[in-house]
Structure 1
Amino acid sequence: MRLLIAVASAVLATTAAARVNAQPALWDPGTGVVPAQADMTPSEKAARSDLEAAGYSQVKDIKSGPEGITAKAVKEGKEVAVVVDSGGRIKELRPEQ
């Protein structure tokens, strides 16, 4: 009986650990940003990757728009608004004056 309980406990613990490890991270501990990638289109995910590869961090507010994929990100310590066009080119948007 004790063996059966021990085996059942081990199986339950392994199953629970596998479920926890299979879930995506809810936030990036390095930046504190919630990625919410489940709600992103493949194009938005690609734009996020392009921005991160170009040295931008804390990428957020990613949205598809007429110019391309717009987002807010941090580069060189400053938050900037950016757009990634269909060719993957990144353009920083000037703040409205």
Structure 2
Amino acid sequence: MMRLPMKSRLIQLLYEKGEAWDFELTNSLLIEYGKSGDYWKWMARFWMTELAAGGILNIVDVEADDGSHFANDKVLYRYNLTDFGKSRVEEVLGA
């Protein structure tokens, strides 16, 4: 079976979880795709920023990182899908 592109899988993971912190989504995604390192970690965060700007994701909470997830004092975001995001997942990914 063919896997979804990582960015699409990120949206699907959030659809399945309902709500999640960016570091939780990133960890799940990287483990599933066998990726590691700063490049992939920051790419996943970039994709989440793009998806929020595009109206797919909604930021529901923010918190300062204590250094255990990305870097000390970086902002952590908790996301959920907007209604538009949910409809796109259901329409495009058949969730």
TM-score (norm 2): 0.22
Q: Where is the helix percentage greater, Structure 1 or Structure 2?
A: 2
TM-score (norm 1): 0.21
Task: Choose 1 or 2 for highest CA Rg.
Answer: 1
Q: Where is the strand percentage greater, Structure 1 or Structure 2?
A: 1
